[in-house]
Chains A and B, each alone.
Chain A
Amino acid sequence: MKFIHAADLHLDSPFLGLTGLPTQLATQVRHSTFVAATKIFDRALAEHVDFVLLAGDLFDRAEQSVAAQAYLFDQFARLQAAQIPVVISFGNHDYATDQHQLVAYPANVTVFGANVTTTTLTLKSGETVAISGFSYPQRWVSDDVLAAYPVHAATDWHLGMLHGAVATGGANDHYAPFTLEELQQKHYDYWALGHIHHHRLLAENPPIVYAGNPQGRAINETGVKGAYLVTSHDHRLVPEFFPTAVMAWETATLTTTATTLVALGQDLTTWLKAHPAALPTLTALTITTSQVLAPEEQARLATWPALFQRTQRAALQAANRYFVRLVVAPPKTTLVAPELDQTYWEQGAAQVFTATNVQTVFGKLAQEPSLAAWLAQVTPAELQEAANQRLVQRERGDEPDVP
């Protein structure tokens, strides 16, 4: 038996954390989710797999993407032509609603309903495979769905599909929370998980696997992205990861002793030469300067990253990189304000950098979902650190003469 386990295709979803890209890259980004997914389906056809499991978040339903739907129809038709069944359990982003699916997918596609059900496939080899799973009926599924999964059926194989996250016991367990023990107690031969975008084996035997997403879409989705080709060996299922991403994300740091922007640029070019990327890589680079830059250089620092990207295009292309974030961080210094005791700064910070105060300051802006989302993930400590940096800069900027 041989099958492909993929999840979180997030077709036609935008890349996050960008402010603009060169046209060519933008086009590549726009197609990346499709191209990556196509690699999965190509592999399925090339390997003549017995079936394909898609463990949720194929697309973002709220985005109402025509391209995503059209793409799925095309690909499912391809698989149908090769008589490869597809089993889908919708997740929190593509949760199953009836009203938008006016035309059903081809006959080879099985979509689980809101309740846990088991579909049984008979393979060309004569083996029988039971697959249990369910689709999210709405964005959140907080119940313990594992109880509804049956134990190993009287088939040759029994696979589980689940789009969800390991229970934390906290209030945010909205994604079909489960524990490893619960999964293992079902004695299935394989658990095909979705939702977490980093591919990972939660357990080896039987394999409990997050496929990850086939294409990273944000700076926190770094690393190799792809799906699993699972093959049976001596009545054990062995997952083999294969990469599919057409673009990569990477965070990197560079420490430099440069004191001028020219020197900084040279250091950066050197770094690029030393770190060529295999895939077009959207890179977030933090440059830490061990020396303080000259004040007039400081003033130009704000526009320098953009200037660098413009002028050093060749070097960037040679390294296959594009900087989505280029931050020049001054050396770590604490604020030395002789007029005011450090304790007063600390007292002030304790008063200002609280979640409540930050929220109050944010005020009406929190009504904007994207800003609220940003606010939700930022901590007061981070803000204090940034504010501190700001104060240091101001103090220094105004006292350039101090030796």
Chain B
Amino acid sequence: MYLKTLTLMGFGQFHDRTFDLTPGLNVLLGPNEAGKSTLTQFITAILFGFPTKKHPELRYEPLDGSQFGGSLDLVKDDNVYRVTRVAGPRGGKVTLQNRTTDLTLPATQLPKLLAPVDLQLFENVYALNELRLGTVFQASKQVVMDRLRHVGAVGSDFWLAQAQQLDRAADERYKPQGRNPQLNQQLQQHRDLTAKLEKANGAYQDYWRLLQDQGDARQQQATLQRALTEARQRVNDLTQQLQAWPIYQQWQTLGQEPTVATTGFTEDDVTAFERVTSQVTAAQSALKADQHRLQNLQSHTQLPKLFQEALKVTPQLTPLLAQLATVTETEQERARLLAQQQDLEQRATGIERQYATANGQMPRPFSLATTQQLKQLQDNLALANQKRRRLQQNLNQANEDYRRLQPTRQHRNPLGDKQVGWLAAGLVALIGAMFLPGTVFKLLGAALGIVIGYYGVFVVDSQTPASRQLQELADDIKDLQAQLREGGQRIDELTDQIDAIGTAHDLGRLPAEQWLAAQAAIGEWERLTRQLASVHQRLTATGEPQQAFQTAVTTLLPSLAHQDFREILRQLEQLQTTQQQLATQDGELAGLTAQLKRDQTALTTAQAAQTTFLRTRNVADETEFYHQYQTIREQGNRTAQRQALATQLGSDRLAQLQQTDQATLTQATQTAQTTATDLQHQLDTVTTHLATLAGQLAHLTSSGTQAVLRQKLANLETSMQATAREWVLDRLTSQWIAATLAAASGDRLPKIVSQAGEFYAQLTENRYTKIELTTETLRVQRADGAWRTVGQLSRGTAEQLDLAVKLAFAVVMQSQAAMPLVIDDGLVNFDANRRQATYQLLAKLGQRLQVILLTADSAAQTVAQGPTNQVVRLTSK
């Protein structure tokens, strides 16, 4: 950028004055008071604004009253802009115009057009005067650094502002400790959602548990269903059994009726019977009719009362009359038998009186063996008695001898008395022993007693020699007595045996000797008795039909009742006779009678047939037959009914029912029903549980809570990532700007310093060759290598250093900030040589940038040669 024209409308001492400038070195030559400082101030004021009215000395308001301000044309990027500034608020009223495009631009564009150079930078770097040159070196080293840094970071203000904006934006997105920034809120949301999801994930455990429960319950359900089906079947079966029970009972009842296994009561039999009965009825009616006719006929004839009576019952009477001869014969026989019976009884009673026992029992006859045995016994008895008598005689003889041998009946053997004493002592010992305690002692005592007694009887006795003979005799007697006893016993035995036979045959009343003789009488009695029995039997046999006959007759003819049988027979005979007489009376009657007989015969035949019919069926009469028939028919019906019931029940069911009873069945049914109900209840519970489980599972499965939350979380994470990306980008971009600025400033300073070194060497005619920027300050190196700090330099040399640095800056920064250098008499402290060197340097720089040198030194015009340079004399006007 360079300034093309300066137009001062009214500024300081100038009014309506125009200066045309070239892009190169412009030397504005004028003595003091020519307005050099005023022009410098004009350029500064038009570009950056008038100073405030607090510093009127710097405002350069025109003294002659012309309009304050002016304009300047500047060229940038081949465009010519005109900046006009007149009095106005805040630094004056600016008009900006692009003269190339002839567009008026807003005043706010002016700083941007000049950027990055602002008033401060312009005054510090581009507008030089003696006052400003070197001031810097009186300041502290920190100021130097700041100045240089400001210079180095020129143009960074925009980017610094951007970096700050980015940081603010980043802070709105996320702060590590914050709460409200977007990402912080999202992170909070994320935590909340995660917590919710974790809670929802609890359903996972529930799900497995429910699934397990479901499996168990299903198994249980299946088991229960099976059990229930079985139980229901059982209930069904039992109920059916129970329902069938009445039928079964009926079946049973039918079976209990006794079965009459009689044949001959079929329908055919009934038909046959009815035929027979009708025959009887027919015969009877025929008979009755004939009897009626007969009665009519007989009414004319005088007949005994009995006959008339008999006429009515002729049919019944006729067979009786037929029997009359037989019956009469029988009656005679009976009379004979009765007589015989009486005789026999008399004879039997006679024998009984002789032989019967007290209670009337007749002895029984002996068998042949018994007779012989008795005879034998009686012989033996006779022998025994004989022997007994002989022995008695011998005994008597012996007794006689004994009496004889016993000389003194008075002189008794003392020892014999002693015998009694021994015996008594033995007895006492024996009895005494009984009182001893203990069996052994008792036995020992008894034995002692016996021994004592024995001693007394046998030992003591035999000790007497005198009694030896007597003793022998006594022994004989004893022997005989024993034989006698034996004989007696034998006799008794025989007598007993005979008695036994007598007792066995009830012959106790008779002496034994008569027994054999009585046998004949006993035999006779027995024969009589047998005859009696036979007679009696025949009597009885004949009595019965006779009785029956009598009864039949008296039934028919009541008038004959209470009459003697023989009288009855006689009357009947008379009746028969009368009948026979009547039969022969006349033809009609005879015919009728014959007819009656025939009728009677027919009736008899029919009745016989009927009777036979009934008898073959073992029934008494018609009623019984029908009853029996009815019974049999009913029985048949029952059997059929029972069979039907059995079919209805079925054989299996019947067999089942036969195994049980109603109470058990009812009980079992109830139990089964309870079981079934129970199972049903359990099944219902399980089913309900399953339904609940299914509902819970369905709820868990279909709620979608987990999926929705997860998707929400995923979405939130996407948003978070986006936010985090924006945030990190803001931060990184900000960092990038900072890093770039640091790099830029960090790089420019050395360049500026190096360039300044070059310029400084030229300005000092190579007395100083190098400038170095240390961390603390600037130092310069002399050509001989010695280092000097700024403070060690002379004022002129220091000013030259400042100029070199500023020129270097302007040159280095030219690509970013092309601003003209305005130098207002800044070289007063320079010696002639160095001033000349400066002019030459400026001329050289003028080839690269616009330099406006305001000076009173005419020597300066010598360097302002060339096409882009010019010399303007301020006082020329």
List A residues at the B interface (Cβ < 8 Å). 12-20, 26, 29-30, 63-67, 69-71, 73, 100, 102-103, 337-341, 343-345, 347-349, 351-353, 357-358, 361-365, 368, 370-371, 374-375, 378, 383-384, 386-387, 390-391, 394, 398-399, 401
Contacts and interface: CB of A to CB of B under 8 A. Distances in A.
A368 B735 contact: no
A363 B176 contact: yes
Contacts, number: 179
Nearest to A402: B112
B697 A70 contact: yes
Contact of B190 (A16, A362, A364, A368): A368
B268 to A, nearest CB: 75
15 contacts: A19-B722, A20-B715, A30-B707, A66-B700, A69-B204, A339-B116, A339-B154, A340-B155, A361-B731, A383-B732, A386-B729, A387-B733, A387-B736, A390-B730, A390-B733
B188 to A, nearest CB: 12
Given A347-B739, A353-B736, 20 more contacts: A12-B706, A19-B718, A30-B704, A64-B201, A67-B707, A69-B208, A71-B701, A338-B815, A343-B743, A345-B736, A351-B743, A352-B735, A357-B735, A361-B728, A361-B732, A362-B724, A365-B174, A374-B724, A383-B732, A391-B736
Contact of A102 (B209, B724, B739): B209
Interface stretch (B156-164, B358-366, B575-583): B156-164
B710 interface: yes
Given A339-B154, A345-B740, A370 B706 contact: no
B263 interface: no
A30 B708 CA distance: 7
A353 B736 CA distance: 8
Contact of B718 (A17, A64, A384): A17
Contacts of A337: 159
A19 B715 contact: yes
Interface string B237-250: 00000000000000
Contacts of A18: 711, 714-715, 718
Nearest to A102: B208
A176 to B, nearest CB: 27
B459 interface: no
Pick from A337, A340, A384 the residue with the most CB of B within 10 Å.
Answer: A340
Nearest to B747: A344
B739 A348 contact: yes
Given A352-B739, A390-B729, A103 B715 contact: no
Contacts of B162: 391, 394, 398
B354 interface: no
A401 B109 contact: yes
B233 interface: no
Nearest to B157: A339
A390 B731 CA distance: 11
B715 A63 contact: no
B235 interface: no
Contacts of B715: 14, 18-20
Contacts of B740: 340, 344-345, 347-349
A368 B187 contact: yes
B732 A65 contact: no
B47 to A, nearest CB: 19
A30 B721 CA distance: 22
A10 B701 CA distance: 16
Interface of B: 109, 112, 116, 154-156, 158-159, 162, 165-166, 174, 176, 183, 187, 190, 201, 203-204, 207-209, 211-212, 215, 697, 700-702, 704, 706-708, 710-711, 713-715, 717-722, 724-725, 728-733, 735-744, 747, 815-816
A224 B358 CA distance: 146
A29 B706 contact: no
A332 B211 CA distance: 59
A19 B713 CA distance: 10
Given A14-B714, A361-B731, A374-B725, A66 B701 contact: yes
> Considering the complex of A and B, which 9 residue pairs feature the smallest CB-CB distances, nearest first?
A339-B155, A348-B739, A348-B740, A64-B204, A14-B714, A370-B717, A347-B743, A344-B744, A70-B701
A103 B732 contact: no
Contact of B739 (A19, A63, A351, A398): A351
Contacts of A339: 116, 154-156, 158-159, 816
Contacts of A338: 155, 815-816
Nearest to A11: B707
B736 A102 contact: no
Contacts of B209: 102
Nearest to A397: B162
A348 B744 CA distance: 9
Contacts of A344: 740-741, 743-744, 747
A67 B706 contact: yes
A358 B204 contact: no
A394 B704 CA distance: 46
Contacts of B730: 390
B724 A371 contact: yes
Contact of B707 (A65, A100, A364, A399): A65
Contacts of B722: 19
A348 B706 contact: no
A349 B154 contact: no
A17 B713 CA distance: 11
B145 to A, nearest CB: 20
Contacts of B116: 339
A56 to B, nearest CB: 20
B732 A69 contact: no
A74 to B, nearest CB: 9
A14 B713 contact: yes
A365 to B, nearest CB: 6
A219 B43 CA distance: 62
Question: Which residue among B697, B704, B815 has the maximum number of chain A CB atoms within 10 Å of its CB?
Answer: B704
Contacts of B708: 30
A380 to B, nearest CB: 9
Nearest to B817: A339
A8 B384 CA distance: 144
Given A340-B744, A344-B744, A347-B743, A352 B732 contact: yes
Contacts of A69: 204, 207-208, 211
Nearest to B202: A64
B706 A358 contact: no
A348 B742 contact: yes
A102 to B, nearest CB: 4
B721 to A, nearest CB: 4
B165 to A, nearest CB: 8
A144 B87 CA distance: 88
Contacts of A361: 728, 731-732, 735
Contacts of B725: 374, 378, 386
Contacts of B212: 102-103
A26 B212 CA distance: 32
Nearest to A70: B701
A387 B732 contact: yes
B533 to A, nearest CB: 107
Centre residue among B702, B711, B725, B729 by max chain A CB count within 10 A: B711
Nearest to B177: A364
Contacts of A374: 721, 724-725
